Structure 1
Amino acid sequence: MILLGYGFIQKIGSRDFFFKVIIYFALFSAVNHVYLVVNWAIDNPININRLRLYAGKGDVIELFGFIFIFCRKKLQINFRRKSYVKIAFVLLTISFLLYFSRTQAVAAIVIISSIYGYTKLNKKAIIVISSFVVLAGGFFWYLNKMEIPRSAEGLEGFLYKIKNAPKEMFSTDINVNNRAELWDKWRSYEAKLAIEQVLNDRSSTLVFGKGIGALVDLKDDFMLNGKLERKIPTIHNGYAFVFFKSGILGLSLYFFVVIILYLKAYSLKSANAISIATNNLLSGFGLYLMFTTLVVAGLYNTNSTVPLILGFILGVEHLNNLSVNEDSDNRN
């Protein structure tokens, strides 16, 4: 998928084409999503969990469409009709917020901050990041002081999911017999079993993993996606997933790719504004993968277009580099 996206952009030969196509597809998706939300709200009481099951829990194309139209000046995406751009921005923002997605919200903040250069470590970035960490820490402290019932609906239900997020991902103390607790910590449960099954195998498995066709044994039958399952091929925690399939070697390679993407922000000391913004976008994509790999498997989410979009952006970066080299040759 990465190679397909990269090759497509090289064949088209236009950076604007990629950004605009993503925005247009995002708009189409946003109209459909808002329609579904309105249709649900007319006939049902407010319940965020049920709304998300009905209208969708998130959309990668909308996420990047929202980011690109938000950062259109920085990325130098040119539109003829400015009034249409404002309408598109409002529509994408409304749809984006109505997903009530913690993952998408954090991803948008991270990538937008990166495009504007705030994730490249310098004095300004350290101040911004430190401020964000303090605010986020204060918000979680306040949430943990609140008594929010697990069965809460509407905004309270959404706040409960935010409050539960750290336990959902990092908890190791899980009572399997308490199904409510288990579902709240399901991501942790999957990851814990995957890691244990590698560590309890032979020593070579630690290095090379259990193989691409290996299944994670859940130790019991669970109703997943409408079917009783005990052994599953994929899990939410992408780091545990890569470690389970390909061991320390595969996990090291994955970290290497993600870090290389993040370091793109440092690779251009002097270049045109478009190249800098694109490299910052790739850097933000690396941070996005660091985060989403923890919660929705990152590049290995089989239902995601993330690898394709990464290929598109790498293709745009290559076009920018060709343009920079041509300008340099012309000056010489």
Structure 2
Amino acid sequence: MKIQIPNNWFYELLFILCIGVTYFDHFELTFGVWSISFLFSIARNYSISLLKLIVPYVLILLLAFFVSFNYDHKLYFMIRDITYLSKPILGFLVGYQLCKKNFKNVLKLLVKTAFIIAICHIIILISAVLIHKAYTVADVRYYSGYFSDYEIYIFVILLFHEKFGLTYNRKKLLLYTIVIGFSAFMYLARTNFIQFLILFLALKGFFVINRKSLLVISSIVIVSVIGYTAIYHSNPRRSADGIEGFLYKLKVAPMEAFKTKINRENWVDFNDNYRSYENIITIRTVTKDGIWPTIFGQGLGSQIDLKQEVWLGDMYLRYISILHNGFMIVFLKTGLLGIFIYLFTITYFFRRVETDIEVIKQINLLFLGTGIFLFVSNWVFLGFYNLTESKSILIGFLIAYRQKLLK
């Protein structure tokens, strides 16, 4: 078999590295790789469409910067917040720039990258089972990763390969779809399952309001309510392994991030509803000092006091500046004004580019699904502010590809 090295191999390598590095769960490394890739791929011009997406994120960063002059936050945390809040901006730019360097094989590069990540994930899964004896849902996720937005996107694109103009032979298409789909499923992430459902429905056109779409969405809601009711009344045990343990996670999911009262002395209540606890403390922290912090937030370097040390990731922390909720982190840094601006970053994805080109129509639908999914992702997983997400690069990439097709 003849191996062909593309002329733009360097930029393809940069793209693969930018996506792959996020799976190491190391923010400083991710930010470093993305920054280097940005410098190596700066474009001569940028589309208005990309700037419309980036500007609100820039405004949030600038607002947090100026508000911080009213507080005496530590310089280290201010600098760290600058990198956190600029991560989506950097991701969109890197994705856009690297796409402009890879126009001859754009979508196939996306699939190839997902396939490489999926193979690595499956190898890690096997080693987790054979070496670490990871037989429970919690152990499997601990050793092999907690989520993968990128693989879900590519899996959905593969399911609609004809509409995206992907030309693979049947064997290669099946291989890519099965491997990437299996890898994405084995993260066993509730948010990824919701993401898949939303993106799939979007590409099927069921979020374009008509009689058929209303019937389909209503049927899904009814089935979901019946399914959840069955799970709730089956009363799965919290300490159970395997499927029962996963069902318990589904049982507590609807209220996990929406409870308004948490008993901090009750370990189960506190642990199961920790995201809600963060939200409660954030709102109290921002609003306790009056109307101005409520409107403008507390700026770069601001933190919340959890009132006790909590195991987060790899250490115990009491004071934190990065939360699980994208809306809450914007509220902490920039108040209600920041939330108002932040909503514009989501409505961006509901704007359709009028065209007769089929691929662009599919990108429009994919962006529509992304906008709907962002309401879920921001509430429980920080949206584009998630420290280990890579979908901002994918979005920037697709914006550049859409621009090229329009020309």
The equivalent of 2:195 in structure 1 is 107
> Matches of 2:277 and 2:388 in 1, distance apart?
21
1:55 lines up with 2:140 in the alignment: no
Q: Which amino acid aligns with 2:117?
A: S
Contact 1:150 1:160 in 2 (8 A): yes
> Matches of 1:45 and 1:4 in 2, distance apart?
36
Unaligned runs of 5+ in 2: 1-90
The equivalent of 1:277 in structure 2 is 362
Q: Which amino acid aligns with 1:50?
A: D
The equivalent of 1:258 in structure 2 is 346
CA RMSD of aligned residues (A): 1.6
Unaligned runs of 5+ in 1: 323-332
Q: Structure 1 121/212 Cα, relative in aligned 2: closer, same or farther at 3 Å? A: farther
Moved more, 271-280 or 291-300: 271-280
Calculate percent identity across the aligned residue pairs.
27
Shift of 1:263: 3.2
Contact 1:182 1:189 in 2 (8 A): yes
Q: What secondary structure sits across from 1:170 in the alignment?
A: coil
Q: What secondary structure sits across from 1:229 in the alignment?
A: strand
The equivalent of 1:194 in structure 2 is 282
Written as runs of structure 1 = structure 2, the 5 A alignment for 1:219-234 is 219-234=307-322
Q: Structure 1 284/45 Cα, relative in aligned 2: closer, same or farther at 3 Å? A: closer
> Matches of 1:205 and 1:281 in 2, distance apart?
37
The equivalent of 2:43 in structure 1 is none
User: How many aligned positions are there?
Assistant: 316
> Matches of 1:251 and 1:320 in 2, distance apart?
33
Q: Structure 1 45/7 Cα, relative in aligned 2: closer, same or farther at 3 Å? A: closer
Q: 1:5 aligns with which of 67, 71, 95?
A: 95
Contact 2:286 2:298 in 1 (8 A): yes
> Matches of 2:391 and 2:175 in 1, distance apart?
26
1:320 lines up with 2:405 in the alignment: yes
Shift of 1:45: 6.0
Output one character per residue of 1:150-173: Cα deviation in whole Å (capped at 9) or x when no partner: 101100001110111012111122
Written as runs of structure 1 = structure 2, the 5 A alignment for 1:118-129 is 118-129=206-217
Q: 1:145 aligns with which of 233, 237, 240?
A: 233
Output one character per residue of 1:285-307: Cα deviation in whole Å (capped at 9) or x when no partner: 11121211111100111211121
Shift of 1:225: 2.3
1:309 lines up with 2:309 in the alignment: no
Which is bigger in relative contact order (C-alpha 8 A, separation at least 6)? 2
> Matches of 1:24 and 1:6 in 2, distance apart?
18
> Matches of 1:252 and 1:45 in 2, distance apart?
44
Contact 1:238 1:296 in 2 (8 A): yes
> Matches of 2:184 and 2:316 in 1, distance apart?
33
Shift of 1:145: 0.8
Shift of 1:130: 1.0
Contact 1:279 1:317 in 2 (8 A): no
Shift of 1:201: 2.1
The equivalent of 1:325 in structure 2 is none
